[in-house]
Copies of this chain bind each other. A is one copy, B any other.
Amino acid sequence: MKIIGSRDRWMEAIAIVQKAVPSRSTLAILDGILVEADETVKLTGYDLETGIECLMEADIREKGHIVVPSRMFGDIIRKLPEDIVMMEVSENGQITIDSGKTHFTIKGIAADGYPKIPVVDNGKAVSIRQSLLKDMIRQTIFAVSSDESRPTLNGCYLRCEGNQVEMVAIDGFRLALRRKTVEGDEVGTMSFIVPGRTLQEVVRVLESGGEQPVLIRPSGNHILFDMGDVKITSRLIQGEYMNYRGIIPQTADSTLVVSPVAMMDAIARASLIISSEDKRFPVRLSMSEDDTLVVTANTDIGTLREEIPVELTGNRIDIDFNPRYFLDALKVIDQETVTIAFNGSMGPCVMKPSEGSDFAYLVLPLRR
Contacts and interface: CB of A to CB of B under 8 A. Distances in A.
Interface in A288-309: 301-308
B304 A104 contact: yes
Interface in A85-122: 101-107
A305 to B, nearest CB: 5
Nearest to A75: B272
Contacts of A161: none
A190 interface: no
B302 A101 contact: no
Interface size for chain A: under 10, 10 to 19, 20 to 34, or 35 or more residues?
A: 20 to 34
Copies of this chain present in the complex amount to 2
Contacts of A266: 102
Contact of A103 (B101, B301, B306): B306
Contact of A273 (B104, B301, B302): B104
Contact of A301 (B106, B272, B304): B106
Interface in A59-83: 72, 75-76, 79-81
B272 A105 contact: no
A58 interface: no
Given A75-B272, A101-B308, A104-B302, 9 more contacts: A72-B273, A76-B272, A79-B265, A101-B306, A102-B269, A102-B305, A103-B304, A103-B306, A106-B301
9 closest pairs, A vs B, by CB? A106-B302, A101-B307, A103-B305, A105-B303, A102-B306, A105-B302, A79-B269, A75-B272, A104-B304
